[in-house]
Structure 1
């Protein structure tokens, strides 16, 4: 197993969030360096830390790149070599189950939730993002549940940046006759999704109520293009790629179709919404979960719409 190193910086929440935003704008970032930011303890929500994981001992250039994210602040970088183990899997072990809408997501450490109407997903700790515990994934589950209750009809869906496959599984549960496609840029996700599909009795294949998996960067893939246009496109990734892919995502959705976006901080929401408005999308609903925004957008119809009263967000979608 390759060695893993971690660099940690502790600072107040606004400073860490500013560093994460700077990372989004870093055009020449080394993507071997994986970043995350979060509160250190629940009882001190303003005390955050930034953690950077590297598959090698950090070089002087690595440390300089991370320090540069903090601008005029002089961060104290704590460098440590981690034990030879899968730190992503380890970090997810023993996490509490979450409930989002009708969905209950758990690891094998916990039993299913025995309640009527609850959809239980078993998602073990893995090398892929998207176990449901992160605010963005949980928010997407809640938003999908709300979209179903609003009467959204989906015959063809795509989950871009699927990670564990969880959001694709949820969409297939809500719309069981839909074609379903999942993709991720990380090749490790193909096996992760296949394993999770087997554990959750999700069929793999090309027909209705079966999931087709692709390894792809954005929408630049023959399978994704051939299966378009979609009624629903889900993308829980990062704000930067969401902005860059706005035109491609909008093009891949039918008029009146939906795009569900997550992975963006509330501070990044306006930038993302502007990009999708320019691409012909309008806001249907939004949620906030912690510091994160979850957006439901709908593609404007081809015909010129009649004058109507201002669009009002559903009550359930204003805050989660």
Structure 2
């Protein structure tokens, strides 16, 4: 006789939505952050011409009125629509929902979300199974960061101390260690589940965990205020693929972790939010080095200016702080 409780039955809530709403839902959903078992959200085209999209939310256990009301706030266009709520058969619905995901190629990286998909010759192949954390490579923000990091390496930039803030699945930290394999690296997330998932993904992709060159340290942390992050600073490369609001709010603390001449790669913002994000980082002594747009989602590469005024300016050591003219790509 066992005392183990039977797993809760899975339920699905379906609502219509617009394409813009569907794209916005590919980021972290703060509305469900406090739920013990947040739903898995999947969006798809309900009509072949792209005029109607659909949101499917998968819940562990029957969702209550409050959860459904919260879900409807994510798709304002469906305000007057009665959601379709249904119990699902006792199947692995997460795996089933992932079967339509196509691999994503960005720069030299080829990211598969299903283990059975073939690897792509001549590329860095990474396996990030879709599930409970954001950052599978499917969204334009993650793919944009991968392409930006690849381009930075191709022009000869070198980094020795890397931080990935809001890592999600760990993908961007894995990519950075692939490009700069002797770097020290740390990845953080406010969600301990995401940190656990990143550890699992690291093992699945052969990324060694721990301290030291070529290894990835993982920590649960809100923003940049954690001794594990501040103790390893300053960084010559900091990556933050989160949302525009947190990026602006965290600008002072994130920039304080970056050394003079160091690079910051930001994503998770929309085109109309880019100017406000850039302005927030310029106020912290950063300058825009490059911007790359994928659809409505820009990726920003900024550099930290040398200190001026009462602080003595220091010459930027290009080899140590991100630039190494004369070196080609790997």
- TM-score, length of structure 1 as denominator length: 0.79
* CA spacing shift, 1:256–1:72, aligned 2, 3 Å: same
Q: Which residue of 1 aligns with 2:289?
A: 284
Q: Per-residue deviation at 1:283?
A: 1.7
Distance 1:19 1:171 in 2: 26
Secondary structure at 1:227's aligned position in 2? coil
Q: Per-residue deviation at 1:168?
A: 0.6
Q: Per-residue deviation at 1:231?
A: 0.8
Q: 2:179 aligns with which of 167, 174, 199?
A: 174
Secondary structure at 1:249's aligned position in 2? helix
Q: Which residue of 2 aligns with 1:162?
A: 167
* CA spacing shift, 1:241–1:35, aligned 2, 3 Å: farther
* CA spacing shift, 1:18–1:202, aligned 2, 3 Å: closer
1:109 pairs with 2:100: no
Distance 1:230 1:3 in 2: 46
Q: Of the two structures, which has the highest relative contact order with CA contacts closer than 8 Å and spacing of 6 or more?
A: 2
Q: Which residue of 2 aligns with 1:204?
A: 209
| Matched ranges for 1:29-108 at <5 A | 29-31=31-33, 32=35, 38=43, 40=45, 43-52=48-57, 54-55=59-60, 57-68=62-73, 74-76=79-81, 77-82=83-88, 89-93=95-99, 95-106=101-112, 107-108=114-115
Q: CA RMSD in A?
A: 3.2
Distance 1:167 1:37 in 2: 22
Which structure has the larger Rg over C-alpha atoms?
2
* CA spacing shift, 1:230–1:5, aligned 2, 3 Å: farther
- TM-score, length of structure 2 as denominator length: 0.77
* Uncovered stretches (5+) of structure 2, i.e. residues with no partner: 1-6, 314-330
Secondary structure at 2:126's aligned position in 1? strand
Q: Per-residue deviation at 1:251?
A: 1.1
* CA spacing shift, 1:34–1:223, aligned 2, 3 Å: same
Q: Per-residue deviation at 1:140?
A: 1.0
Q: Which residue of 2 aligns with 1:298?
A: 303
* CA spacing shift, 1:68–1:114, aligned 2, 3 Å: closer
* Uncovered stretches (5+) of structure 1, i.e. residues with no partner: 306-320
Greater mean deviation of Cα atoms: 175-184 or 145-154: 145-154
Q: Per-residue deviation at 1:174?
A: 0.8
- Size of the aligned set, in residue pairs, is 298
Distance 1:298 1:37 in 2: 36
* CA spacing shift, 1:47–1:69, aligned 2, 3 Å: same
